[in-house]
Structure formats: structure tokens, C-alpha cells
Structure 1
Amino acid sequence: MHISLLQCQSGQDVSANLQFIQSQLEQLNRENVDPAALSPHLVVLPECSLLFDGHERAQISYAGDCHHSPLQAALSGLAAQHRVYLVAGTIPRLADDGRLHSRCYLFDDKGVTLGHYDKLHLFDVNVADATQQYRESDTFCPGDHISVIDTPFGKIGLSICYDLRFPDLFRALRLAGAEIIAVPAAFTKVTGEVHWQVLLQARAIESQCVIVAAAQWGAHNQGSRETWGQSMVVGPWGNIIAQRPTGTGWLHADVDVAEVHRIRRNMPLAQHNRFAPPQLMCR
């Protein structure tokens, strides 16, 4: 299976961010002379790919509800236009309590929504960078379910950025059948430099899944935020299959899901684990 991760440097201008993603997908089409003749292609976007703002509350004006979401429609349209399966980063969706969910959609190559996931773990931390305090819970509320979705590539589990620090989520996704886990992210430069790669490799080893992590990179919005980058594809043995340390653009990799099952047969961690499984439900 062929996977392409897009590393972005998104900002406050939704139209400019959308144009960048469109131009990159057009580049994919130029490289694939006859896309219709190819096997299905999975594309993964990073967190906040259409809107990356220094103030989380700016997300509210772009949030859609269950009846209408222009950002969701735009991403669905891109998946259909370019005939790719799309893990569409994150967009804001209105929640029942007046805050937002940070939601990741997975679209098929006709733009049909196969499933979605609302970020479970909110980034309320202090970081030694220019922002210093991050309080996602001021604007966002956490989701209440996990998501594993059937695709031609295998069963794909969804997670988002800060979720990477919580191994129980990845165990829950594995137990729900995940073979591949997507991690759209916008890790800060300070935390990413020391933790990003080791966490991705640890989660891959523990879950025995392929981890596909598309990241934001660089200085955003006149330097008010800085992200680490290093989009990566990590194999179920913890091996780095491909990575893009810096810059914007594509990271491509070919992945064999059969390797996931070979490793699980040889080292059956799921059967050996004596601790109770996580309780959140899959939908």
C-alpha cells in the first residue's frame, strides 16, 4: 500500500492553507500519470491543516455543526477530486456545551465520510516557548469514543497529536482491530525535539501497528507558534520506514500490512497482557 503524508506550515488564512493542500494534491496527480489505474492511495494531513491560529478561540468562527461545515465540505471535495483516501487532519466542530471538538475525518476516494474521531486528550500544559501556556480546554471539549475504520489499506485507527502521550488509547485501538494508526499532529518545537520520535516508535512497538504521523513544521503566523515537523512512518517493529525532518511537502512510503500480522504472531503481546483493557467504546 502507498501512503503520502503532507507536512504543512499552516497559518490563519484558511484560503491560503486550502490552496497549498490543493497544489500539493495536484502535484501527486502529475506524478501519477493515470491515477485511476493505480491501487488506492492514502493521504494524511496534519492537525489544524486548514486553520492554525495562535488563539484557539479563532476556531469558533469556522466551526460547523452536524448540518453544515464548509471546512468538512472542502476536504471531502479534495478527496473526491484527487481520488485519494484522506485522513483530513483536524477541523473544529461545535459541541453540545458551547465549546468545540477537534475532529479528524477519514474520507474515501469519492469524498464519502467513512468515520471520524474527536480528540480525547486536550493540550493543557506549560511549555518553555514563546506561547508558554497552552489551554485547549478553554475552547475544546474532549471526545468520548475511539475510532477504527475499515479501508482497502486495512483497519485504520485515528488519534491526534497530544494523544500520542497516552499509550492506553493506542492499546484500545489495537484491541479494536487497528493495523495502522494515523497521528495528525502539531507538536511544539520544544516538546517535539525531545519526545516526538521516541513516542512514535514506542507506540508502534507497543501496539504492533504501522504509525503514520503527519506534522506541522516551522514558524507560524509571524513566529507566534513554532512546530517541530519530522513527519514519520514507523513500522510495527519500531523501525523508521520514512521521515521528513523539515520543510513542507510530501513524505511517501510503501507499507506492507502483512508485516503487522507476522510480528504479532511471533510476539503475541495482546494475549500476554495481564492488565484490564481500556474501556472507551469504538464507533
Structure 2
Amino acid sequence: MSSGLDIALIQTRTPATAAGGLAHVEPLIREAAAGGARFILTPEGTNVLEQRRDLRASVLSEEDADVAVLGLRRLAAELGVWLLIGSAIVRSGRTRQDGADDDRAANRSLLVDPRGAITARYDKLHVFDVDLPNGETYRESATVRPGDGAVVADTPWGRLGLTICYDIRFPHLHRQLAKAGASMIAVPAAFTVPTGEAHWETLLRARAIETGAFVLAPAQGGLHEDGRRTWGRSTIVGPWGEIIAKADHDEPCIVTAKLNMEAVGKARSAVPALTHDRDFLPVS
């Protein structure tokens, strides 16, 4: 395992079609690889961001037919890099309990190796069903089928825990990823502006401190074709909770850093909280 890792987060403003998503993100990935990044991460909804229900069904494909997913797998192989497609919104191909087709999509992270092979998949566990104080309402469960399992994947630099966006609010998930050996945790996101401004950096730093892991958070940013606004501010947090690198805006960009993977062991040795769990009686 190498102790140093040149990493890049890609901040995007993904269009409403997979072809547009690929055309948007590909030049940024190429630039990151040319700059020396060996592991590149993209945000939630890298292939397509479209929440208008009358248009959404027509722009989604199965994972193995999605233009952006296929193009990004080829690109990883061409560039010889590890690539985390932070998430692709794809048809789930699942059925409901009553046997009927479940027309909800999967919000799926895909880890791609330098041969272009998918080595890990993770479907977002926690869907974003909220009523924000500013009047915005989101019901992700209406269009996205939640996953049912946590995932930790192997990379040449250590194990990677996979999460997506709203998962950041569930510390027990991140703790389990760390206990399963994750030294890095990915948090690809399309955070809303109100929640991003209030909570984004605080939550990222908290999850890093609690787990003693690097937290890698590539984000969507700006006004999208479907009318939503996202917060941007892609961020890399060290295992002691320090901000290593971040974007201070919501424009498409690349955030880079060199990670010293030995910092994970040092943080966990200094505060070995992952080994201090105790059973306790339930709240009465």
C-alpha cells in the first residue's frame, strides 16, 4: 500500500441528459489526470440531473446502457486511473413486493479501476425526503429506490467506504464503514443551498473526526437545467478533521490534494474511539 495518493475531486453542474453529463465531466477528468491525479471522484448525479418527473423517465437508462457510465468506464481505462462515479441515476430493474415493476431509479456509486472494470457498486441507503424551512420540498423516495447494504471497496491506497449525499447525516453508517476498514469515505453530493450553507462543512468534518478517515466530498454546484440549485464547495477533509482542500464556490472545477495515508493510523491511535464501543441499556 502506498502512503501517498494524488487525488482529485471533480465539481460539476451536470445537465439533464446522460450525453450532456458525459460531455460536461470528461474534460475535467482529463485535466485532473493530466495533472497527476491517480484517483478521481465525481459528484452525485454525474450522468444526469433531472427531477422533473415528466422528463425524468425518458432520460434514464439501465447501468449497462447509460451513455455516461459507458463513456466514463472507457475514459478510466484510457487514462489509467481509478475513478469513482460518485453516482449515476439509472433504472433499477427491480420489482416491488407485489411483483410489479418498480419504476424508481437507483442512485448508484460505481468504483471503476484502470482497466475500466466496475469493482464496487453502492445504492444510496438514505433517500432525501424533507420539507426545508424556506419552503423547498423533496421526496426522493418517490423516484429513487433506496439500497439495502453498506459497501467498503478495496483500492491500492486503502479501503474506501461508499456513501451518497444525504447519507452524511447518519453517523452510524460512517462508523460501520470505518470499522470495516475504510481509511477513506466518499461523500459525492448534490446538496441543496440552504442545507449546504448551514451544514455541509460541519457534517463533513464531524464524520472525518468520528471515523479517523479521509472524507472526500465532490459536489454539484449552481443552477441546473431542471431548476434546482446546488451548493458546490467540494471538500477534502483529513482524519483529524482538518480541511485539506476545498472549492469556495459552486462553479465547475477540480479540487486536488496529496493524501498521506499514514495520517489515518495516527488519528486513530491518538483517539481510538472506534475501539471503545460499549453495550448499554436502551433509553427508557
TM-score (norm 2): 0.88
1:179 counterpart SS class: strand
Match of 1:192 in 2: 196
Per the alignment, residue 281 of structure 1 pairs with: none
- In structure 2, the partner of 1:241 is 244
- Other-structure match for 2:95: 96
User: Which of 88, 93, 110 is the matching residue for 1:105?
Assistant: 110
Contact 1:57 1:139 in 2 (8 A): no
RMSD (Å) for aligned C-alpha atoms? 1.9
1:206 to 210, 217, 220: 210
Asked if residue 145 in structure 1 is aligned to residue 149 in structure 2, the reply is: yes
Larger deviation, residues 5-14 vs 199-208? 5-14
1:49–1:275 CA distance, 2 compared to 1 (3 A)? farther
Q: TM-score, normalised by structure 1?
A: 0.88
Mark the CA change 1:13 to 1:239 in structure 2 (over 3 Å): closer, same or farther. same
Aligned to 2:50: 53
Structure 2: gaps of 5 or more residues = 97-101
Aligned-residue offset at 1:128: 4.3
Q: 1:252 to 1:135 in 2, by over 3 A?
A: same
Deviation, structure 1 residue 141: 1.4
> Structure 1 residue aligned with 2:231, among 224, 228, 235?
228
Once the two structures are superposed, the pairs formed by residues 16-95 of structure 1 within 5 Å of their partners are 16-32=20-36, 41-55=38-52, 58-65=55-62, 68-91=65-88, 92-94=90-92, 95=94
Aligned equivalents of 2:162 and 2:53: distance in 1? 22
Structure 1 residue matching 2:174: 3-state secondary structure: helix
Amino acid at match of 1:256: N
Please report how far the alpha carbon of residue 15 of structure 1 lies from its aligned counterpart in structure 2 after TM superposition. Answer: 2.0
Corresponding residue of 1:267: 271
User: Are residues 213 and 29 of structure 1, via their aligned partners in 2, closer, same or farther at CA, if it must alter by over 3 Å?
Assistant: closer
- Give deviations 1:23-65, integer Å, cap 9, x for gaps: 1123234445xxxxxxx71100000112111325744334444
Q: CA deviation at 1:16?
A: 2.4
Question: Could you say what secondary structure the match of 1:255 adopts?
Answer: strand
Question: Distance in 2 between the 1:60 and 1:152 partners?
Answer: 37
1:243/1:275 CA distance change after superposition, 3 Å: farther
1:241 aligned partner, one-letter code: I
Per the alignment, do residues 44 and 152 of structure 1 end up closer, same or farther by CA in structure 2, a change over 3 Å counting?
same
Say if 2:183 is the partner of 1:179. Answer: yes
In structure 1, what is the Cα distance between the partners aligned to 2:54 and 2:200?
Answer: 26
- CA distance, structure 2, for counterparts of residue 188 and residue 237 of structure 1: 26
Decide which moves more: 65-74 or 150-159. Answer: 65-74
Work out the CA distance in 2 between the residues paired with 1:7 and 1:168. 27
Give identity over the alignment, percent: 37
